[in-house]
Each structure stands twice: as C-alpha cells, then as structure tokens.
Amino acid sequence: MRVLLAACALLACGLAQAQPARRPGVDFMSPALQALQRDDTQNPGQLWVAEGRSRWTEAGANGRRCADCHAAPEAMDGVAARYPAWDERLARPLTLAGRIAQCRQRHQGEAAEGADGPAVLALSAWLAHRSRGRPLAPPDDARLMPWSARGEALWRQRFGQLNLACAHCHDERAGLRLGGAAIPQGHPTGYPIYRLEWQGLGSLQRRLRGCLAGVRAEPFAAGADEWLALEVYLARRAAGMVLEGVALRP
C-alpha cells in the first residue's frame, strides 16, 4: 500500500509539473508586435481609449454624464479587473460591457447597445486602460459558480464540422502554430483588443464568435447565456493574471 501511495504521489507531482505556466497572449506575439502594444503613442487601440475618456464627460440623452455619478476618474481604477460580477437587479452576471450598457440605458436614457457598440466599446477601452497592470480578480461569489461551471463545460465541448473544443487548441496545443500564427492560451487579459485582422477594436464576445466560426460551427445568438457563461469561466481561469489594458493581437 505504501509503495502504491508513493507511486501515486510521484505521478501526481509529475502531472502537476507538466501543467504549463499561464501566459498572456502578448507572450505569443513577435517582439515587434509586443513593442507596438507597449507604446501608447503607436498602439491603435489607444484611439478608443481617448474616445472613451471623452465620452466619460459627455452628456447622455437626458443630460447626465458618467462623471456625474463617478466624479473622480481615479475611483474607476481597477474596476475592469472585477468583472463579470453579479447584478442584484437582474439576478444574473454582468460583464464590464454589460454594466456600461445598463448604466447608459438606466441613468443616461441611451438606447441599448451591445459589447461592440461604439460607446460601450470606447468606455470599455478607457476603463480597461485604467486597470492596466492590475491582477484579474473576479468576485468570489457563489452565485457565479453555476455560470462558471457552464462556461467550463462549453470550453471543453466539441463544436462544428471540425469537431473541436476550445480546450483542444488553447489548453492542449498552446504555443504551437496554426496558419502561421502562434496559438495562445486564451486568457482574457487584454480586452477589448485591437486585432490587426479586424483593423479595429473588438470585445471578447466578438473573438469567441470568431473561434466558433473557425471550427465551422453556428455561433450562439447575440446576447445568449452561453457567451456570458464562457466569459465568467474565462475570468476565473485567468484570475490573478495581470491585465494588459487595451491589447494588440495579430
């Protein structure tokens, strides 16, 4: 029995050591692209940061501004690191983009806008920039656990004509190459991101839609719970990793 227990302990130790260290997407880019991301005067994502800074002080449809409730911009430092979070009124999680959209509707009288709407995207970029360098710290809230579990199940579920799961690429094959580009581990440390492929800024949900299309699967409907569950799980999966602000990707 002792020999068996010792063997199991060695095996467990070996498996633990075999797990790769978590690395953000920026680590898988070329030195030139890494330098471009670090340079705020060259990173094109900073255009959206500047727009978000302006929108913070602009009046909404009813004349109210974000700054009227959140007077000090410094009070928003680190906010982006704490989402998705539970919303008491809706009794469900909200992403940062979802919170911005809700605030604009509820307090400024603005029309509904998704995560990739121009105002939500710009404000998300500005808040992400203010959280740059902070560790991702999703709330330790039991109400989020069923959503995280559902997201993890989706992460490991096979989809599309290629019959692939997210985990097949981002867990098992991270660091290898696909179509000439390195496969990252899929941690959401830089959203919203500027992708050279898009020639624009986009949300995590947009990237997830692209992944499903890549395996030739039908994406979930806009605003579906599946997107939210995946974002809740990915935030917990990356907990403790440093936020990059508005990141750049190929």
Q: Which of 182, 151, 185 is CA-nearest to residue 168?
A: 185
127 contacts 55 by C-beta, under 8 angstroms: no
C-alpha distances in angstroms, 154 versus 20, 225, 226? 22, 11, 8
Q: Report residue 231 as tokens.
A: 């974002």
Rounded to whole angstroms, the Cα distance separating 127 from 70 reads: 12
The per-residue DSSP string of 128-157 comes to: HHHTTTPBP-----GGGHHHHHHHHHHHTS
| HSE-up (13 A, CA, CB side) for residue 114 | 12
Q: Which of 36, 18, 11, 48 is nearest to 203 (CA)?
A: 48
103 assigned to active site: no
Q: Which residues contact 135 (CB under 8 A, 6 or more apart)?
A: 81, 239, 240, 241, 242, 243
Write down the catalytic residue from 66, 103, 166, 211.
211
Distance of alpha carbon 81 from alpha carbon 98, whole angstroms? 14
Rounded to the nearest 10 degrees, what angle do helices 96-108 and 118-130 cross at? 120
- What Cα–Cα distance (Å) separates residue 19 from each residue in 7, 22, 28, 216, 239? 19, 9, 17, 29, 16
The residues annotated with a catalytic role in the active site are 211
